[in-house]
Structure 1
Amino acid sequence: MTLLTTWPESGPETVVRRTSDPAAIAAALAPLGVRYERWPVREDVPADADADAVFAAYGPEIDKLTAAEGFRTVDVVALHPSDDPQWPRTARAAREKFLAEHTHDDDDEVRFFVAGAGVFYLHVRGEVHAVYCEKGDLLGVPRGTTHWFDMGTSPSFTAIRFFHEEDGWIGTFTGSDIAGRFPDFDAIHSGHAGSAA
């Protein structure tokens, strides 16, 4: 279930907003310049589908968004639990890359979740907005927006990424420790987002 939780930037002791209603989520994020929408879910696309299958399934939506927004690069990123002995190290490294607060100076961060889930944390106007995204959710974080992303201790998701710049994901890190002061993916996923991680 998609979920938006908002706290004051001072900490998660007080919940300002919590909603799972897609229309309410979109309405709350729009004034921040954040795009949130639901796309039809293709149930016949397995969680571990390769990029070709994902592009084939979501081609009309990808083409429409790319044409409307002028994206130059679209790719598919997937991370799912594996029996590979290196999986714990791979998962930890992938998670840590995005977990610190950062911005993107030259591009928006636009993701559509084909499978699985992840949480985008938006640090805007004195508040932290945690958007728990799942299959069918598209989120667009405007360039310059301070944020971080948590995929959890055992990541499992497939997402389509859209880029205006061919260089792809380039983050400018703020050096803040704020991400460690708010409930992480695992706490939100398990429904225990009322206290810090």
Structure 2
Amino acid sequence: MENILEKLVNNSKKAINDGVYEISESLSKSEIDLGETMVRSQHAPLITEVKFSSPALGNIRKVSNPVNIAIDMVNGGASALSVLTQPFLFDGSPELFMKVRKVVKIPMLMKDITVDKIQIDAAKKMGADYFLLIQSIFDKKMVSEMDELIDYGHKNGVKVLVEAHTSKEFENACKTDADIVGINN
């Protein structure tokens, strides 16, 4: 039986094969450096998430206007936005991401189960400042070449947030060239 991580990886591969990440438009990323914002912030900087569904919770809210949600988050003090682009189990899409990118100026993370350079190319075209890599997927050898994906992102001007769920994953993530290591626990 397929576990949730395997399902997420397989869903990303299916989305790639379905052409989900074929982006014709090209948008600019933010001019704000999130890393510098985090260092200079007097308070804990918030990276808020535009998300409609999840594997754990199912449907969180009706897929509505992500732009209004994002504007409310920015007005509420978000330093960056994480916007889901994975269609399966999360109800995200590159189109939703780009709608938000066109109206907000703060840094944005393309939140997806990144397994291929095609997704990084899409992140760049969509104006993403960051893309997500999930450490456990690489630790469990479900996807290889984490360093290659990080290097590819950097060569294409897209930074990397590596997400860790355990202390061991955090240690491994800190050994990479990720721009930010995030803890999702």
Name whichever structure is richer in helix by fraction: 2
**Same fold by TM (over 0.5)?**
no
TM-score (normalizing by structure 1): 0.26
TM-score (normalizing by structure 2): 0.27
